[in-house]
Structure 1
């Protein structure tokens, strides 16, 4: 009987945390293209954010940006250096940039990491093999929070 109560309590706590997560279609940008509120209600893990930013199958931010704090090889120069990012942008602005940079910078080539529809899909016309929408987001809501947590540690020295 005691085990059932503990299991029920754990399930309720888990569903409460899940209920707080903002889905890709529910994200609200403010007038400055920032997302002020956390997507999960859970603090980001900066160490995990650093891993995501250097992992090819996840953020792979270093493919386009230089980040001195990361020892990842072959860092790019397509986008701006992210050194001092937290001095240039607030946490809400950073969250907005990671979710969908085109909201702030219309011509940006940076991918939207938390978007599931509205993509230009050239593969449909050429190969017929492009994925159909809705596509899963590149990063989860918590991974977005982790990346934002890491970016807020990047200050000019």
Structure 2
């Protein structure tokens, strides 16, 4: 009996680990450009997402987008649409799809795919086979974008 309980607990622990694993870039399921399922087993952290968004070596979103929430940062871009009120225009699933790979929603966009690890040329070998952002960073950026509502 104790052995059966031990096996049952072991199976539950293995299932929990499998559920908590990040979705790999190749397994992201797009539907009309949106990604309804979270890429991680953890909720996005909007505070960290704001940091990733502004970080010039990670998201670097300000290179192309204006965002009044980050007015302390200089050099907001004007190539992409302003992101003020973006949470009123897009759902979490749509934002997750756009951040993961915007080309799945907007075929001719110049926005980089932040969560793919193949099918592009990387200028440095150390980045070969790696995505720009991790699954958790994508979820964090999405959580941050969901805070950007019209005032």
| Coarse TM-score class (shorter-chain normalised) | 0.7 to 0.9
Instruction: Give me the whole-angstrom Cα distance separating, in 2, the residues matched to 1:149 and 1:60.
Output: 16
Shift of 1:133: 8.5
Shift of 1:130: 5.3
CA gap 1:17/1:65 in 2 versus in 1, 3 angstroms: farther
Shift of 1:16: 1.3
**Does structure 1 retain, via aligned residues, the 8 Å contact 2:63–2:75?**
yes
- How do 1:15-26 residues align onto structure 2 when only pairs under 5 Å count? 16=17, 19-26=20-27
**Unmatched tracts of structure 1, length 5 or more:** 1-8, 124-128
**Does 1:50 find its partner at 2:50?**
yes
The DSSP-based 3-state class of the residue aligned with 1:69 is: helix
Instruction: Give me the whole-angstrom Cα distance separating, in 2, the residues matched to 1:134 and 1:118.
Output: 10
**Does structure 2 retain, via aligned residues, the 8 Å contact 1:117–1:133?**
no
**Does structure 1 retain, via aligned residues, the 8 Å contact 2:84–2:149?**
yes
Instruction: Give me the whole-angstrom Cα distance separating, in 2, the residues matched to 1:17 and 1:151.
Output: 28
Tell me the C-alpha RMSD between the 2 structures: 2.2
Instruction: Give me the whole-angstrom Cα distance separating, in 1, the residues matched to 2:81 and 2:44.
Output: 23
- Aligned partner of 1:5 in structure 2 is none
**Unmatched tracts of structure 2, length 5 or more:** 1-9
Shift of 1:97: 0.2
- Aligned partner of 1:65 in structure 2 is 65
- Aligned partner of 1:145 in structure 2 is 139
Q: What CA deviation, in whole Å up to 9, does each residue of 1:77-122 have, x standing for no partner? A: 0000011111110000000000000000011111100001111x3x
Shift of 1:21: 1.2
Question: With structure 2 as the length reference, what TM-score do the two structures score?
Answer: 0.83
Instruction: Give me the whole-angstrom Cα distance separating, in 2, the residues matched to 1:19 and 1:56.
Output: 29
Shift of 1:19: 4.5
Instruction: Give me the whole-angstrom Cα distance separating, in 2, the residues matched to 1:143 and 1:130.
Output: 21
**Does structure 1 retain, via aligned residues, the 8 Å contact 2:20–2:42?**
no
Instruction: Kindly tell me the number of residue pairs found equivalent between the two proteins.
Output: 138
